[in-house]
Amino acid sequence: MVHDNFAENVRRKADCRSTGRGPETGDWEDFEKLKINNFEGNNADTEFISHECSRDFVSRMIRRRVRRIDNRVITTTSDAKVIVKSLATAMKKADTTVEKAIRQKIAEEIVKIANSTTLEDFMKGVFSGEIQKMIKKEASKIYPVREFEITKVEKRVSKTSQ
């Protein structure tokens, strides 16, 4: 049952909400942060702010004798500037030169994919796992990558638009 003052309560509490995808998919591994811009009846007009994987999900990726390769890329989609943080795990302890090559390849692929899509299409690819699959395949050509995940995507907001 929807209450008449639902919109007012949401407006009063906060304009940013974190929503897990759990009720729809049955998992709580991802969290999206949305900003509520406007209400029309019982519908809310929202804007994407960020997406983040849960710490439990990330910690399950890290095992003994596995190399953790973190990466941070600032790139631009066709309609927004975003910060993409990713995590790859190598099968064994890799050399630092190999890690550097994997980081560079991951950054190249993220920039290539992001520049050719909108923010909405990029996020759909992240949620479906298609982007992760493509990047893992490319990075595995350098050294065997066990897992690859985009752990965080943040929409970068300029100071003048706030």
- pLDDT, one tens digit per residue, over 100-136 is 999 999 999 999 999 999 999 999 999 899 999 999 9
pLDDT tens string 4-23: 444 443 433 333 334 444 44
Q: Is 85:132 a contact under the CB 8 Å cutoff?
A: no
Residue type, 159: K
What residues does CATH 3.30.479.30 cover in the chain?
55-157
Neighbours of 23 (CB within 10 A): 8
Highest average pLDDT, of 20-29, 35-44, 133-142, comes from 133-142
CATH code for the structural domain at 55-157? 3.30.479.30
